[in-house]
Amino acid sequence: MKLTKEQKKEIEEQQSQKNSTKRVTSPELEKILYEALPVLDHGFVRVVDYMGDDTSIVQSARVSYGKGTKKVSTDSGLIKYLMRHRHSTPFEMCEIKYHVKLPIFIARQWIRHRTANVNEYSARYSVLDKEFYIPSKENLAAQSTNNRQGRGNLINGSQADEILNLLKDDAERNYKNYEKMLNEKYDGSTIDESKQGLARELARMNLTLNAYTQWYWKTDLLNLLNFLSLRADNHAQYEIRAYANVMIDTLKKWVPITYEAFMDYRVGATEVSSKGKHVIKKMLKGEKCDFENSQLSKREWNELMTSFGFNEKII
């Protein structure tokens, strides 16, 4: 990830600001406020604002004055209880705003989470950056044979080289035509003084989905946790998972107690159906319980066995 001189200057100016406040702050998050945290080849995540901390959750849960209890252990116990029993409202009292630079195809996946305020870079108003996401070879994989929206075996050798060249050539050619239609180079210079440029809102349709866009994304803590629980999961697409992993690190700096509870009860936990619970109970008692009499589907059975590390999967 490369930042322009203007971007670096803006970040330095933002980080040099000195403001006094009576509101709660998170010291560890303050250290990285405004910093561009690199993701993929040209992307980044920046925390540009936030409201509240762990004590804000406790305070709203108890509807109390000030910062609530002064005992961190007591606060931790309450937050873990709220997370464990999915009492969600107190987590809505904290908010955070990110500045994210990401490929358009990931933005279209991300926007499915409709519980945030979003303001995206306008390609009707400005010319998009001449930057494209090109995956590394270790992230080139064939279509999965058993998952319609997943990846299978790694693609290697000359085929991988050919795919990467196609991605790069298509992006560069389309961007060149984008500039030609605009009659304007990325640096703002005119291509042909005798021609008019096509409206930016029309020219943008020619760009590839691996072009980068940017947006400000503001959400409350509850919906951030919902986003991260899905997008930081191993089954999520690698590219959006890369962003989620960086955001999890900002979560840890912002609300460390909530982070621990989230990693314990959401990320590291397993949801079990009533039928699955019945199967586990029988196994613990040493009673015979196999797929045929479990009343679970093949997929449910395999997921259950994988979650608890049992060597009883059905092929």
Same domain as 159, residue 44: no
* Residue 39, strand partner residues: 43
Same domain as 180, residue 72: no
Q: Is 132 inside a domain boundary?
A: no
Q: Is 46 inside a domain boundary?
A: yes
Same domain as 291, residue 149: no
CB neighbours (10 Å) of residue 254? 24
* Predicted pLDDT at 53: 96
Sorted by sequence, the CB contacts under 8 Å of residue 115 that are 6+ apart come out as: 219, 220, 223, 226
- pLDDT band of 70, cuts 50, 70, 90: low
**What's the average model confidence in pLDDT over 40-50?**
96
- Given a cut of 70, is residue 71 above it in pLDDT? no
| Helix, strand, or coil (residue 145) | coil
Residue 113 corresponds to which tokens in the numbers above?
């989470």
- Given a cut of 70, is residue 68 above it in pLDDT? no
The count of structural domains within the chain is 3
- Report the CATH number that the domain containing residue 57 is assigned in CATH: 3.30.1360.170
Of the listed 231, 241, 266, 299, which one is catalytic? 231
Domain limits at 197? 137-206
231 tagged catalytic: yes
Sorted by sequence, the CB contacts under 8 Å of residue 226 that are 6+ apart come out as: 113, 115
> pLDDT digits over 258-305, tens only?
999 999 999 888 888 999 899 889 888 888 888 888 889 888 988 888
Which parts of 131-237 fold into alpha helices (H)?
A: 157-182, 200-203, 221-231
Q: Is 292 inside a domain boundary?
A: yes
For 245, phi then psi, to 5°, come to -65, -40
Q: Is 228 inside a domain boundary?
A: yes
If we measure between CA atoms, which residue out of 25, 175, 14, 39 comes closest to residue 103? 39
Same domain as 193, residue 180: yes
- Given a cut of 70, is residue 66 above it in pLDDT? no
Q: Which amino acid is at 92?
A: E
Same domain as 201, residue 220: no
